[in-house]
Amino acid sequence: QTTATQIDGNYHSARRLPEMTTTPVERLEGAKFSGVPGLGSLQQFLNVPDKYNLKYIFSNDQFYDPLLFFYGWHKIQLLENGIAVWERADIPVLPAVLPRKEIPLYQRLMFGILPPLALCLSILAATSGYWRIPFLLVGEALGMRPWFERLHRRLVWPIDWIWGKIDRRLLAASALAEGTRGRAPRWQLYIHLWLRRFRRRVKPASTTARQVRTGLLIAIVILTLVVIGLRVRAYFRDPLYQVTSYYDDLDFRRFEDAYQRLNPETRPDYDQYIINLSVQGGLVASYAKLDSLYPTILAADAEQMRVQVDTRYITALSYYTNTQTLVLTNNPQVGWRIEPAALDVRLPPDQFLRRPAIEWLSLGRRRATTSVTDFTDVLDRPELQILSAQLVTQQEGDTPAYSVVGEVMNMDVDPADVTVTGYIYDDTGTLLTWYNAGAGMMHKLFPQEITPFRIDFQGVAGMALDEVRGPIDFAPDAIWHYVLPGDTQLGRFDVFAKAVVTQRDLDRDVGVQNLAVAAQNETYQLSGTLVNTGIKEAVIPHLLVTYYDTAGEVQWVDDFFLPESVRPQRIMDFQVDLTPANSVTVADVPQGTYTNALQESGMGAIPRADWVGLPPAMGYAYLRVSVHYFTGAQ
């Protein structure tokens, strides 16, 4: 048990944060059950936990694990009941005195007096007719009956006078003029005449007529059941039904039912089929739910059919679409069945591997005590250096999207858990908004390692309650952009980078090779191969693509979550679309970068060894690919 506070409060409490009032999420533990808006609301809290002093998260659903990991959280413990405890480093402690809104005195008095007063008055009004006899009995017992009668008349007289006046006015308004006779409206007379004629025409049917009608009714019922049965039979025998049911069975983990929909002549045995599914890891296979499915028949004959299946999966990070072509064969015994997909039969060269590794351990308090942490047990913050920072905009519709992109380097000898925060000010120096870098960077850095970062300023997390105007739609891979208020002009932006020593999530065994950039339909695509030289499976590979100009300044940062995993000692090809240079505009405003480095080392020689040259027509000079991945066992 814990007495720590939480963001969404008690279940029956009112929600006041814009991140929760703009979506139907209600409670954060049910974010995925609220669909896309719920996930968007959860992302707001995970990206800026220092705003809410959010230090720990208890999770019993692995669906949220990728979102937590790539937003800088790390798993510290798995409790006995299967609940995982996640932590975010470098979060300020909750203040001893929490700020509260000062409510005017008259509002506090109204809140305490009006509700019970209204309840008492309603009870008195509903039971006023029954109080005369008890009231007079009390007066008679006290020997003051005449006085109580006068008091009762004085109390009742205003109410009787008001209701009497209303009753007399209603009576006068409803009275007919003298000499007129009351007559129903004409439409009521028509209805009355029609009902009278209908009763005259209705007479009992003969025995023969009843038999004919009964026979017709039975025939109609039988015909309806036959048609429904034929339609149901045709539906279940439809080849497309086998396709949709197969994906539905896989989505709900009904593997035995999915296995029965494969061709019995070509499918492997059930145990081998389960093994084949178990090695197909990744974001889509392990952390996604099927959102929609659209099958299309490409070619068909009496014996075989080719079906293109367009699927859409939803994860805590993004939507993923996949197009797969299935082959169905018509088996005389069981009907249409799906042919099993081909498997990757490539094997790694070595069966047993030995890998030396460098391990880190932070002991924390060396002496177990409840007193204040000793000063000598507090580790110094790692030194950081911001190599580049730019405020850029992307025009999406009528609203420009503001982002800060750049690079930060861990100059220390210890690994660092890095937090990068961006601030935007207007031309008068007033702070407009601030936000943290989320999935657009690597939060855990080796000594001397460089990571790009992208801070996407969002509008909801920096909103006040009175600035919210109606519901806001979220998408897992989209943001609700920050909008400058009124005629405000951008003045400057600042970037702060801070870090603490860490020992977690420092896997770097996946590399990239065979990089190539090619033009494709007025866009450019980056292709390459991921190589996993380690002993852990890269369940969710994360690519960070950094674009540079000729001076080495960062122009933009892309991040891509690949849907498939990379098993140890194996490779995987990838292909992603690059952001055009003409869609990004660098804002010409002053900047400030703040770290704890006492002496900057400089950017070094340009280009660096890990940069890739780009064609001049693309608009960028260089490109760099960083690989970050989630192993699922953090």
Q: What is the mean pLDDT of residues 9-22?
A: 64
Amino acid identity of 519? A
Cβ atoms of 305 and 263 within 8 Å: the answer is: no
The residue with greater pLDDT, 526 or 322, is 526
Please report the pLDDT score of residue 142 as a whole number.
Answer: 82
The token pair that represents 110 in the structure block: 């109204």
User: Between β-strands 571-577 and 612-613, what pairing exists: parallel, antiparallel or unpaired?
Assistant: unpaired
Query: Cα separation of 20 and 26, whole Å?
Result: 7
Please report the pLDDT score of residue 183 as a whole number.
Answer: 66
> Could you read off the pLDDT of 273-321 as tens digits, one per residue?
999 888 888 888 888 888 889 999 999 888 899 999 999 888 888 788 8
Q: Which of 137-146, 533-542, 569-578 is predicted least confidently?
A: 137-146
Is the pLDDT score of 464 beyond 50?
no
DSSP alpha helix (H) spans, 366-422 = none
Please report the pLDDT score of residue 11 as a whole number.
Answer: 60
DSSP per-residue string spanning 307-341: EEEEEEEE-SS-EEEEEEEEEEEEETTTEEEEPPP
- For the stretch 451-479, what's the b/e string if a residue is b when 16 or more beta carbons lie within 10 angstroms of its beta carbon? bbbbbbbbbbbbbeeeeeeeebebebeeb
The residue with greater pLDDT, 193 or 31, is 193
Please report the pLDDT score of residue 460 as a whole number.
Answer: 63
Q: Is the dihedral of CA 89, 92, 93, 94 positive or negative?
A: negative
Residue 15 phi, psi dihedral angles, 5° rounding: -90, 135
Distance set, CA 482 to CA 401, 421, 510 (Å):
7, 15, 35
Please report the pLDDT score of residue 484 as a whole number.
Answer: 83
The residue with greater pLDDT, 94 or 585, is 585
Please report the pLDDT score of residue 468 as a whole number.
Answer: 45
Cα 195 to the center of its chain, rounded Å? 60
Please report the pLDDT score of residue 254 as a whole number.
Answer: 92
Q: Is the peptide bond before 471 cis (omega within 30 degrees of 0)?
A: no
Name beta bridge partners: 410: 384
Please report the pLDDT score of residue 630 as a whole number.
Answer: 93
> Could you read off the pLDDT of 346-388 as tens digits, one per residue?
788 888 888 888 888 887 777 777 777 776 777 888 999 999 9
Is the pLDDT score of 25 beyond 90?
no
Break the chain into its structural domains and give their ranges. 18-91+363-367+375-630, 121-154, 208-237, 239-338
Query: Cα separation of 36 and 568, whole Å?
Result: 33
Cα 278 to the center of its chain, rounded Å? 27
- For the stretch 127-150, what's the b/e string if a residue is b when 16 or more beta carbons lie within 10 angstroms of its beta carbon? eeeeeeeeeeeebeeeeeeeebee
* Triad 555, 560, 566: Cα angle to 5°: 135
Residues whose CB is less than 8 angstroms from the CB of residue 395 and which lie 6 or more positions away in sequence, other chains included: 401, 583, 585
Q: What is the mean pLDDT of residues 320-344?
A: 87
The token pair that represents 144 in the structure block: 């003051």
> Could you read off the pLDDT of 252-284 as tens digits, one per residue?
889 999 999 999 989 999 999 999 888 888 888
Please report the pLDDT score of residue 543 as a whole number.
Answer: 95
> Could you read off the pLDDT of 509-525 as tens digits, one per residue?
999 999 999 988 888 99
Q: What is the percent of the chain where pLDDT is above 90?
A: 39
Cα 31 to the center of its chain, rounded Å? 6
Query: Cα separation of 559 and 544, whole Å?
Result: 4
Please report the pLDDT score of residue 112 as a whole number.
Answer: 92
Please report the pLDDT score of residue 474 as a whole number.
Answer: 46
Cβ atoms of 595 and 420 within 8 Å: the answer is: no
Please report the pLDDT score of residue 80 as a whole number.
Answer: 85
Identify which of 507, 403, 382 has the alpha carbon closest to the alpha carbon of residue 454. Answer: 403
Q: What is the mean pLDDT of residues 93-101?
A: 76
Is the pLDDT score of 475 beyond 60?
no
Which of left, alpha, beta for 224 (phi over 0: left; psi -120 to 50: alpha)? alpha
The token pair that represents 435 in the structure block: 């936000």
**Residue 335 CB neighbours (<10 A):** 14
The residue with greater pLDDT, 237 or 507, is 507
Is the pLDDT score of 42 beyond 50?
yes
Surface-to-core class of residue 492, CB atoms within 10 Å of its CB (0-12 exposed, 13-18 middle, 19+ buried): middle
Identify which of 579, 630, 616, 608 has the alpha carbon closest to the alpha carbon of residue 407. Answer: 608
Query: Cα separation of 54 and 74, whole Å?
Result: 13
Is the pLDDT score of 467 beyond 50?
no
Please report the pLDDT score of residue 114 as a whole number.
Answer: 95
**Residue 414 CB neighbours (<10 A):** 20
The residue with greater pLDDT, 451 or 476, is 451
Residue with tokens 């790692």: 382
> Could you read off the pLDDT of 416-432 as tens digits, one per residue?
999 999 999 998 989 99
Residue 420 phi, psi dihedral angles, 5° rounding: -115, 125
Q: What is the mean pLDDT of residues 24-29?
A: 69
* Triad 290, 296, 297: Cα angle to 5°: 140
Confidence bin at 24 (pLDDT 50/70/90): low
Identify which of 48, 37, 101, 100 has the alpha carbon closest to the alpha carbon of residue 470. Answer: 37
Identify which of 543, 327, 340, 355 has the alpha carbon closest to the alpha carbon of residue 452. Answer: 543
Cβ atoms of 493 and 59 within 8 Å: the answer is: no
- For the stretch 552-591, what's the b/e string if a residue is b when 16 or more beta carbons lie within 10 angstroms of its beta carbon? bbbbbbbbbbbbbbbbbbbbbebeeebbebeebeebeeeb
Amino acid identity of 261? R
Is the pLDDT score of 480 beyond 70?
no
Confidence bin at 35 (pLDDT 50/70/90): low
Please report the pLDDT score of residue 63 as a whole number.
Answer: 87
CATH number belonging to domain 239-338 = 3.10.450.100
Is the pLDDT score of 124 beyond 70?
yes
Cβ atoms of 509 and 539 within 8 Å: the answer is: no
The residue with greater pLDDT, 295 or 145, is 295
Q: Give the chain's count of helices (H) and strands (E).
A: 12, 23
Q: Tell me the pLDDT of the chain averaged across its residues.
A: 84
Q: What is the percent of the chain where pLDDT is above 70?
A: 88
Q: Which value, to the nearest 10 degrees, does the dihedral of the CA atoms of residues 427, 429, 433, 434 take? A: 120
Q: What is the mean pLDDT of residues 218-244?
A: 90
pTM of model > 0.95: no
The residue with greater pLDDT, 103 or 555, is 555
Confidence bin at 465 (pLDDT 50/70/90): very low
Name beta bridge partners: 18: none
Query: Cα separation of 629 and 633, whole Å?
Result: 11
> Could you read off the pLDDT of 582-604 as tens digits, one per residue?
999 999 999 999 998 767 766 67
